[in-house]
Structure formats: structure tokens, C-alpha cells
Amino acid sequence: MEIIIQKTAEEGSAVGGRIVAKLIQHKPTAVLGLATGSTPLKLYREMIKWHKEQGLDFSQVTTFNLDEYVGLSADHYASYSRFMNENLFDELNVPTQNIHIPNGLPENLAEHCAAYEREMVDAGGLDLQVLGIGSDGHLGFNEPTSSFASRTRIKTLDQQTVEDNQRFFKEGEEVPRHVITMGLGTIMEARTCLLFAFGEGKADAVAEMVEGSVSAMMPASVLQFHRDARIILDEAAASKLKKADYYKWVYSNKPEWQQY
């Protein structure tokens, strides 16, 4: 793991934006795994800035999203398909046929999940996977006890995740209890994992993920085994790391060719 601590979420997201931009400049046909929720929004604004102000070309990029709610149509106000269009794709030149988001209303869930896995393989695999971390340590919707070998599948949400996501739904509307999510095994096959965590509310999960034991009870801890996992934090999210000063020292002393 490489731990990158910045003062603010904005500064951390700017680092992430440079990492994504560098990848696409080096490999215009990059395959990106994308996440939803409030955490990656600032990263997506950085990507849009790179496109509009620096001319970063996304016309050959392919994307796969981590997850989607089962039972929501693509045009539902709380669907991840709509979220991605409104917060990223409407502002970039990624071809529509290159955008892949799980279908929340498939005819056959198992077949759809298997096909999603095949599509990622056919695209050449994920070059970079954007991630957040849940307050209980989940990645995507891989809740505690998820298998480290799991693939894209249907998953039942933990009560805490349902409560955390209630803010994205209208008052009185229930959060779906089931989702389609990439598995931890799928995520681990990405060549680079780029995880963002901001705010004091993520500090406990971050500390356990980075410095705790690897355990299925803390799904994000599997990233300790990833060959290129970059963890971007603000000061608040990093506040419970025992080795925070060391991580800062390492990052500030990177050789020029390793800098972002």
C-alpha cells in the first residue's frame, strides 16, 4: 500500500486526478473501474477539468462501474447509472458503447453478473479501479464476511450500509436491500487500485484497513495484498493512523520520477 495524506479532500482528489490523467496520457485506451457515492465526486470534477481545460481525451477509454441497486431502473433518480451520467459522463467524451454499469433490472441476475465479468476480461482487464471505503470497511458493496475470492454477484446489504445510504433516497422511500457488485477477487485483479477516504467518520475504518489484520470482517484490508494500491486520505481520515508521520515523510521524499 502507498498511503498518500493530503490536508484536504480537494488536495487529495487533485492528486487522484493527476494519477488518472497520467494513465490516460500513457494509455489512451485505458480501462477504468469507477465508483459512486459522495467520496469520488471531487475526483470526477478533477477529471472533467482535465478534459475541458487540458484537453485530456477520453474517446478511447472504457469504463466499468462497481455496482448498482437491484430493482432500480437506469433512469431512477437514485440509480448509479443516473449518478454517473450526471456527475461524470455528461461532461466527458467517453463513447456510450464504452460505458458499462450493471443493470439493476436484468432478466437473469446470475447470467448478467457472469456476462459483466466476461466483458471486463474482453476489454483487457481494469487498468485502474476507483474505490471508497464504507464505515464498516466494505469495498463496493462487499460487506463484512465477503470472500476475498468473490466475483461480480448479487449481495444483500448490511443494515449499517442501508442506513448510510438512506441520505441518497427521498424521505419515506426504502433503500433497496440487494445490489449487484464486483467481487473482491474482481477488484484485486485491477492493475492499480485508487482508494479515497475523507473525513473523520472514515478514520477508524482506514486505520483498520491499513494497519490492522487482514480479515474478511474488514473487506478493504484485502488491499494490503494488492500489488499497487494507493490510498489517498485527508488529514481527518488519516487521524488514527499510527504511522501517519512516516507515510507523509515517504510521500514528500519520493524521487521525481515517482511523483504524481
- Summarize pLDDT for 123-166 with one digit per residue, the tens: 999 999 999 999 899 999 999 999 999 999 999 988 888 888 88
Residue 124 cell numbers, joined: 483487457
Of 157, 127, 159, 123, give the one whose Cα is nearest residue 140.
Answer: 157
Of 149, 160, 142, 175, give the one whose Cα is nearest residue 70.
Answer: 175
DSSP code of residue 176:
P
Residues 120, 41: Cα–Cα separation, whole Å = 23
Least confident of 42-46, 171-175, 225-229: 171-175
Interval 161-218: pLDDT, tens: 888 888 889 888 888 999 999 999 999 999 999 999 999 999 999 999 999 999 999 9
Q: Is 76 exposed, middle or buried (0-12, 13-18, 19+ CB in 10 A)?
A: middle
Residues 47, 93: Cα–Cα separation, whole Å = 11
Percent of the chain predicted with pLDDT > 70: 100
Catalytic residue numbers read: 67, 136, 138, 143
Q: Are 237 and 8 in contact (CB under 8 A)?
A: no
* List of domains in the chain: 2-254 (3.40.50.1360)
Q: Is 249 exposed, middle or buried (0-12, 13-18, 19+ CB in 10 A)?
A: exposed
Q: Who's near 194: CB < 8 A, 6+ residues apart?
A: 16, 19, 20, 128, 129, 130, 131, 230, 232
Q: What is the mean pLDDT of the chain?
A: 96
The pTM (predicted TM-score) of the whole model is 0.94
Q: Are 185 and 129 in contact (CB under 8 A)?
A: no
